[in-house]
Amino acid sequence: MEDISTILTVVEDLVARFGLNLIAAIAILAVGTWLARLIRRLVRRVATKSNLDPTLISFLGTLVYYGVFGFSLIASLNRLGVQTASIVAVLGAAGLAIGLALQGSLANFAAGVLLIIFRRFKVGDLVEGAGVFGRVEEVHLFTTAIVTLDNKTVIIPNASLTSGNITNYSTRGLLRVDMVVGVAYEADIDQVKRVLLEVLRRDDRVLSDPAPIVAVLELADSSVNFAVRPWVRPEHYIPIQLSFYEQAKKRLDAEGISIPFPQRDVHLFQHSPAQG
């Protein structure tokens, strides 16, 4: 009976000691989880009021949640007597190994965060980057989707975008289209300018302010080249180029103004055969 009593005493002592630690560990984990959710909601609320990108808001909320939750988990394990220092060291070594194995993906991730934070472009912008020209459809943490003018979706790693120049055609709200029209040397310069300006003014997509410009650009080998510089909205940048040359050709033909093709003057010299 004394042995049984001794065993019961030891069991009661262990339960009392570890039971309290277990209850404390569970309480720490529960409070940590609640606090993680609360801080995540606060971060999302503040980020939303700051007009941050929705992708970045979701990422920050998730990062804060798992950061606080991980800290509370380590604290609860430490309460149970687990040596958390060794666990942290193992997790750090594992994180380093994973980082080295996925350094390409991490580079894309870091580039995606930079793109979202600094807002180099947004969904709907007309951009050119990594050798692709088109409209931005989606911006993710690892990749960016761009729809080209022929309706192809190109998925570009974010690191490829940030490693080179990015041209955003939509940032300023207005674009100047640079076109060149060549006419024959015998054409009247004032008449050509009048005709080309009329073609531009009849197109509703061409803005009157800033006013379009038509001027002699250069005296080329076979033609007088005119610079045609209308201002348009970004969405009309390509369509205006596709339609202008057709309309300009029709109007120039109607006015009797020719558009020359490259030509050369060849002079032949006849030599008499040498007298014997």
Ordered by start, the domain boundaries in the chain are: 7-101, 120-168, 175-254
**In this structure, are residues 110 and 118 in contact, taking their beta carbons and an 8 Å threshold?**
no
Mean pLDDT of 209-220: 94
pLDDT score, position 17:
60
175-254 placed in CATH 3.30.70.100: yes
pTM for this prediction: 0.61
pLDDT mean across residues, the chain: 83
From 33-47, 137-151, 195-209, 261-275, the region with the lowest mean pLDDT: 261-275
CA 270: distance to chain centroid?
66
CA 184: distance to chain centroid?
44
pLDDT score, position 113:
80
**In this structure, are residues 134 and 150 in contact, taking their beta carbons and an 8 Å threshold?**
no
Other CB atoms within a 10 A radius of the CB of residue 191 amount to 14
- What are the two backbone dihedrals, phi and then psi, of residue 238, each rounded to the nearest 5 degrees? -80, -45
Mean pLDDT of 41-70: 79
Percent of the chain with pLDDT over 70: 79
**In this structure, are residues 25 and 81 in contact, taking their beta carbons and an 8 Å threshold?**
no
Q: What top-level class would CATH report for the domain 120-168? A: mainly beta
Q: What is the rounded distance in angstroms from the CA atom of residue 162 to the CA atom of residue 224?
A: 41
Kindly report the CATH number that applies to the domain delimited by 7-101. Answer: 1.10.287.1260
Confidence of residue 129 (pLDDT cuts 50, 70, 90): very high
**In this structure, are residues 159 and 111 in contact, taking their beta carbons and an 8 Å threshold?**
yes
